[in-house]
């Protein structure tokens, strides 16, 4: 049984475990000010190329998202997201739980556009009867596996500046976006055009952990108290420091993302070229959404783990297949072989 259901089924990259062992016996301060965390923060600031940035660590994506939103929004302020945005769909009401409305807009490709934000602002012009939109939330890569180009992010950023909206990029799969074919966005661009963004460690080689990067120090004042208050500050914070040191030393983070993307694209190309399979979304990162006959889906489910994204009709469904840094060539080859057999049987 191979696994294309998600990118967190296995443990972490072995070099992280090795470093945890190597550093295990040193005595460190806790709660975020251990030496490894400090060093990792410096390293990330250098990668981002923004000496004014402030870096923090959280355990997971939902935690990072709720912390950032709690830090930047006042009670009456709201965040704009596409409907498929992670905060809107898959965080069990985490954002509402800290008091904020998520204003959702439609999007075909999972990306937020200035025109949609504008429409959301218009829907919220009846003050004081409506919340005040004050932030946009975007994911890169998105929940549909797509990514933002430089031009797109710059335009979003400019639009938001004019309308006094914070730009928050959820980078749970940032490596996959930045290593996608066609990507022209750099870490420094992101630091320039967002107010705050996260870098997901858990789904790209880490054991647990997301880095949160505020691009202006002023936005991060007292953020450590908020971390503590929301239960996010680990006493043995070295766990985060060690991981991010290892992931960003020699850009391991990016080479792992590249490998995950490579596996997904290899699978996508085989599906397209050898089976003529259409896709819900152009495949670019480690999440691809082939459209398969429902009959195949039923058979595949018996020895594959993947997610049925959307039943299109009686005949077809879009499925989500997700690769990770430790997806093996053999797994992909076997799957392609199996699908080709179905295809031959059908013809």
Beta 287-288 vs 316-322: how paired, if at all?
Answer: antiparallel
For residue 43, the minimal CB distance to a copy of itself (Å) is: 20
337 touches a copy of itself by CB under 8 A: no
For residue 230, the minimal CB distance to a copy of itself (Å) is: 7
Structure tokens at 8: 């967190």
Cis peptide before 128 (omega within 30 of 0): yes
Structure tokens at 169: 């990029």
Scan residues 13-32 and list those touching a copy of itself (CB under 8 A).
14, 17, 20-21, 23-32
Among 42, 158, 229, 346, binds a copy of itself (CB under 8 A): 229
Q: How many CA atoms lie within 13 A of 183 on its CB side?
A: 25
For residue 327, the minimal CB distance to a copy of itself (Å) is: 11
Residue carrying the six token digits 């699908």: 339
Among 43, 45, 121, 130, binds a copy of itself (CB under 8 A): 130
Which of residues 208 and 291 has its CB atom nearest to a copy of itself in the complex? 208
92 touches a copy of itself by CB under 8 A: yes
For residue 26, the minimal CB distance to a copy of itself (Å) is: 7
Scan residues 231-250 and list those touching a copy of itself (CB under 8 A).
231-236, 238-239
Scan residues 38-67 and list those touching a copy of itself (CB under 8 A).
58-60, 62-67
Which of residues 59 and 285 has its CB atom nearest to a copy of itself in the complex? 59
Structure tokens at 251: 């850009």
Contacts by residues 39-44 (CB-CB < 8 Å, ≥ 24 positions apart)? 39/241, 39/245, 40/211, 40/240, 40/241, 40/242, 40/243, 40/244, 40/245, 40/248, 41/241, 43/244, 43/245, 43/248, 43/249, 44/199, 44/211, 44/213, 44/244, 44/248
Which of residues 27 and 273 has its CB atom nearest to a copy of itself in the complex? 27
CA distances from 284 to 148, 190, 332 (A): 11, 19, 16
Which of residues 4 and 264 has its CB atom nearest to a copy of itself in the complex? 4
110 touches a copy of itself by CB under 8 A: no
d(CA 336, CA 334): 5
For residue 288, the minimal CB distance to a copy of itself (Å) is: 19
Count, residues near a copy of itself per rule CB under 8 A: 77
Among 106, 164, 222, 314, binds a copy of itself (CB under 8 A): 222
Tally Cβ neighbours within 10 Å of residue 273.
9
Scan residues 160-219 and list those touching a copy of itself (CB under 8 A).
202-203, 207-208
129 touches a copy of itself by CB under 8 A: yes
Give the containing element (helix H, strand E) for 153.
helix 150-162
Which letter, b or e, does each residue of 217-229 get, where b requires 16 or more Cβ atoms within 10 Å of its Cβ?
A: eeebeebbebbee
For residue 212, the minimal CB distance to a copy of itself (Å) is: 12
For residue 227, the minimal CB distance to a copy of itself (Å) is: 7
Q: If you ran DSSP here, which 8-state letter would residue 216 be given?
A: S
Instruction: Show the binding pattern over residues 256-295: x = contacts a copy of itself (CB under 8 A), - = does not.
Output: ----------------------------------------
Structure tokens at 35: 């030496």
For residue 182, the minimal CB distance to a copy of itself (Å) is: 28
For residue 2, the minimal CB distance to a copy of itself (Å) is: 9
Which of residues 189 and 331 has its CB atom nearest to a copy of itself in the complex? 331
Contact 178, 257 (CB under 8 A): yes
Which letter, b or e, does each residue of 60-71 get, where b requires 16 or more Cβ atoms within 10 Å of its Cβ?
A: bbbbbbbbbbbb
Scan residues 70-89 and list those touching a copy of itself (CB under 8 A).
70-71, 74-76, 78, 89
Among 46, 158, 217, 225, binds a copy of itself (CB under 8 A): 225
């Amino acid at each position: 049984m191979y696994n294309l259901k998600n990118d967190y089924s296995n443990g972490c990259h072995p070099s992280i475990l090795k470093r945890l062992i190597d550093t295990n016996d040193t005595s460190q301060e806790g709660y975020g000010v251990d030496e490894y965390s400090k060093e990792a923060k410096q390293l990330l600031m250098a990668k981002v190329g923004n000496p004014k940035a402030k870096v923090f660590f959280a355990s997971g994506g939902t935690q990072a998202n709720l912390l950032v939103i709690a830090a930047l929004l006042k009670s009456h302020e709201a965040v704009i997201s596409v409907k498929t945005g992670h905060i809107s769909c898959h965080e069990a009401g985490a954002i509402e739980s800290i008091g904020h409305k998520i204003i959702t807009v439609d999007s075909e490709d999972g990306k937020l556009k200035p025109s949609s934000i504008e429409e959301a602002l218009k829907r919220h012009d009846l003050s004081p009867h409506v919340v005040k939109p004050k932030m946009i939330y975007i994911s890169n890569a998105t929940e549909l596996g797509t990514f933002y180009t430089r031009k797109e992010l710059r335009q979003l950023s400019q639009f938001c500046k004019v309308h006094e909206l914070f730009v928050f990029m959820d980078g749970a799969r940032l490596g996959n976006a930045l290593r996608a074919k066609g990507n022209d966005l750099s870490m420094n661009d992101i630091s320039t055009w967002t107010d705050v963004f996260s870098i997901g460690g858990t789904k790209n080689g880490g054991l647990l952990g997301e880095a949160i990067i505020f691009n202006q120090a002023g936005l991060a004042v007292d953020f450590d108290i908020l971390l503590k208050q929301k239960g996010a500050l680990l006493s043995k914070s070295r766990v985060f420091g060690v991981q991010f040191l290892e992931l960003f030393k020699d850009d391991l983070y990016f080479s792992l993302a590249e490998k995950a993307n490579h596996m997904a694209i290899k699978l996508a190309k085989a599906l397209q070229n050898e089976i003529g399979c259409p896709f819900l979304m152009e495949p670019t990162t480690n999440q691809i959404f082939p459209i398969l006959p429902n009959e195949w889906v039923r058979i595949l489910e018996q020895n594959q783990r993947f997610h049925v994204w959307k039943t299109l009709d009686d005949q077809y469904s879009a499925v989500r297949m997700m690769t990770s840094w430790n997806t093996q060539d053999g797994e992909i080859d076997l799957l392609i072989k199996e699908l080709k057999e179905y295809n031959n049987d059908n013809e």
